[in-house]
Amino acid sequence: MTVNGYALPPLLPGRLIKRYKRFLADVRLDTGKIVTAHCPNSGSMLGCAVPGSRVWISRSDNPRRKLKYTWELIRTEQSMIGVNTLVPNKLVKTAIENNLIPELCGYEKVRSEVKTSKGTRLDLVLEDGTDRRCYVEIKNCTLVENGTAMFPDAVTKRGQKHLDELEDLVGAGHRGVIFYLIQRTDAVRFSPAGMIDKVYAQKLLHAQKKGVEIITRDVGITLEHIHINQRIPVLL
């Protein structure tokens, strides 16, 4: 991480052969060599794992790793897309710590992976020395259709529970924020994917009416760097 974003490791270009078993992807490198890379995205990756697409993977020399390669980026006809789901939390936390998210400025401390109730953790809590905290749950968004970024790309009971939790925290006097980081560059608006998870879409609308705040940002992506970019309008 840098102040302005995530510095990608050196990347090897290739073509996606297939993604399978959630965490595996076969890639034909430009050298002709075929390798199996770890896919750091357990979601459906709807529209983001098309065989034949241009991809970039990184290589690790860690002898403890079973797979030496990690899938980092894919390019579709519409956009470059960040595959690694660990990146959004790092990007958002660093941006908040450096006062790069105006909606979340003014906090003295940022803590990660905070237990809020039995069996539930949220990604961040922001503290300013008062009893009123700000809880932030970060969602990685890679599904875009006709310029509309959508979440989720599969039914998510866990995501529904996070919305309920944020709503309860707002009811207890805290701030609750759902932060959608769109890891691609072609979105002009954001909406919940009601055609995929109707319950999630209904819960997001209800949570927003109860005071849960929605923050969206897309990213800028190069082969060297991913950084938080601009705010995306929300349509519920």
Considering only CA atoms, give the Rg of the chain.
Answer: 18
Is residue 140 pLDDT above 80, yes or no?
Answer: yes
Is residue 118 pLDDT above 90, yes or no?
Answer: no
- Measured in whole angstroms, the distance separating CA 234 from the mean position of its chain's CA atoms is 16
Residue type, 180: Y
- Per the prediction, the chain carries an average pLDDT of 96
The CA distances from residue 71 to 77, 159, 186, in Å, are: 18, 24, 21
Mean pLDDT along residues 126-154? 96
DSSP string across 52-78: T-EEEEEE---TT-S--EEEEEEE-SS
Mean pLDDT along residues 146-173? 97
Mean pLDDT along residues 34-40? 97
Read off the pLDDT band of 119 (50, 70, 90): confident
Q: Starting from the edge strand earliest in sequence, which strands make up the sheet with 225-228, in order? A: 6-7, 225-228, 213-221, 175-182, 134-141, 120-127, 109-117
What is residue 3's predicted lDDT score, i.e. its pLDDT?
74
Q: Which domains does the chain have, with CATH numbers?
A: 6-82 (2.40.50.580), 87-228 (3.40.1350.60)
Helix (H, G, I), strand (E, B) or coil at 95: helix
DSSP string across 25-54: EEEEETTS-EEEEE----S--TTS--TT-E
Is residue 226 pLDDT above 80, yes or no?
Answer: yes
Mean pLDDT along residues 110-122? 93
- Beta carbons within 10 angstroms of residue 215's beta carbon: 19
Rounded distance between C-alpha atoms, residue 163 and residue 75, angstroms? 31
Query: Is this structure's pTM higher than 0.85?
Result: yes
User: On the CB side of 163, how many CA atoms lie within 13 Å of its CA?
Assistant: 23
Rounded distance between C-alpha atoms, residue 87 and residue 120, angstroms? 21
pLDDT tens sequence across 67-101: 999 999 999 999 999 999 999 999 999 999 999 99
Rounded distance between C-alpha atoms, residue 114 and residue 135, angstroms? 9
